[in-house]
Structure formats: C-alpha cells, structure tokens
C-alpha cells in the first residue's frame, strides 16, 4: 500500500483536503484534492464569522472525497513498540455517521 498523508487546510474562505503520496526520496506528491467554499457572515464592519457546523461538515466531506479520489487511504498508528494494523477507508466503514466534537465546558 502506498503511504499517504492527509492534510486539511482550514482557511477563511474554504476548507480543503489534500492527499500527498510519500515518495521513496522523502518528497511529497499530491494525488487528490477537494475544496469547499465556506459562507462568510459579516455582522459588523471589519468582522467575519463562520458557522462551526458548516466547517465540520465541509471537513468531513472534503476528506471523504479525497479518500475516494485516491482509491482509499490506509490509516496506521505507530507507538514506540509496534505498528498497528492499517485499515482501508474506501469501503462502507468510513460512511458511518460522525458526531462533531463537543465543546469544552459544555
């Protein structure tokens, strides 16, 4: 399986996810990109606000689209002793409903 890194770029105007293939020479090559524009709200002059739920939804959607475009990306975790197994996310397992993280002190 090719080693990829999934990067999420959360900007003021959009959410973007990019899958980079890690090459043998240590370089990175983008293999899939997805971007969704975010609605901006201007409650006062010089202010901009965003809907947190829209950001969360856009993040999930762009990541799912990148995973699909890349043909599935394996996830692995490494601690100091052994590598955990990798899981393919291209199938139905990644389509579970996800809950947004709860805010602190909620």
Asked whether residue 90 carries a pLDDT value surpassing 70, the answer given is: no
What percent of the chain is modeled with pLDDT above 70?
66
91/30: higher pLDDT? 30
Q: Residue 36: beta bridge partners?
A: 15
- How far apart are the C-alpha atoms of 53 and 78, rounded to whole Å? 31
**What pLDDT does 95 receive?**
44
Q: Rounded mean pLDDT of 54-78? A: 84
Per the prediction, the chain carries an average pLDDT of 77
Query: To 10 degrees, the CA torsion angle through 39, 58, 104, 99?
Result: 130
Q: What is the pLDDT of residues 10-46, one digit of tens each?
A: 998 999 999 998 888 888 999 999 999 999 999 999 8
- Tell me how far CA of residue 88 lies from CA of 36, 51, 93, in angstroms: 24, 31, 9
Q: How confident is the model at residue 96 (pLDDT cuts 50, 70, 90)?
A: very low
Contacts of 13 (CB under 8 A, 6+ apart): 37, 38, 40
CATH superfamily membership of 4-95:
ATPase, nucleotide binding domain (3.30.420.40)
Q: How confident is the model at residue 71 (pLDDT cuts 50, 70, 90)?
A: confident
Domain ranges of the chain: 4-95
Phi/psi at 21 (5° precision): -85, 130
Q: Rounded mean pLDDT of 60-86? A: 70
First to last CA, the chain: 41
Furthest C-alpha separation in the chain = 54
């Amino acid at each position: 399986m090719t080693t990829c890194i999934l990067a999420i770029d959360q900007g003021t105007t959009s959410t973007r996810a990019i899958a980079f293939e890690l090459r043998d020479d240590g370089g990175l090559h983008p293999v899939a990109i997805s971007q969704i524009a975010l609605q901006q709200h201007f409650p006062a002059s010089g202010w901009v606000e965003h809907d947190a739920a829209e950001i969360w939804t856009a993040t999930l959607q762009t990541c799912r689209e990148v995973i699909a475009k890349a043909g599935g990306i394996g996830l692995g975790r490494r601690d100091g002793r052994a590598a955990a197994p990798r899981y393919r996310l291209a199938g139905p397992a990644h389509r579970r409903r996800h809950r947004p993280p709860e805010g602190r002190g909620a």
